[in-house]
Amino acid sequence: MTYHDRPQDAPAHAIIDAVVDRRLKGPTEFTVAELETLLLPAPDPKRVHGAQYRLQKVGITWPGSPEIPEEPA
């Protein structure tokens, strides 16, 4: 079961809405504040790599975003 109406998720939903809106208008980047909001508390580095790869795969980057190699199978 997925919960889409949890109050603690509101900041993440707002960021995703803003990024999607910007992406529909052209290439976009996450701001530092958006990344900090999405990544608190500090996640597992393996999960970060997977998320970065999926974001870059759909054309979303962030300041200083590295070239992410494909996820290992």
The model's pLDDT over 5-38, given as tens digits with 9 standing for 90+, comes to: 777 778 778 888 888 888 888 777 777 777 777 7
For residue 30, tell me if it sits in a domain: yes
What global pTM score does this model have?
Answer: 0.40
For residue 19, tell me if it sits in a domain: yes
For residue 50, tell me if it sits in a domain: yes
For residue 73, tell me if it sits in a domain: no
**Cα separation of 26 and 22, whole Å?**
7
* Helix ranges, 30-71 (H): 32-38, 45-57
Say yes or no to pLDDT of 45 above 70: yes
pLDDT at 23: 81
pLDDT at 46: 82
For residue 39, tell me if it sits in a domain: yes
- Domain total of the chain: 1
What domain range includes position 55?
7-61
pLDDT at 71: 62
Are 61 and 29 spatial neighbours (Cβ–Cβ below 8 Å)?
yes
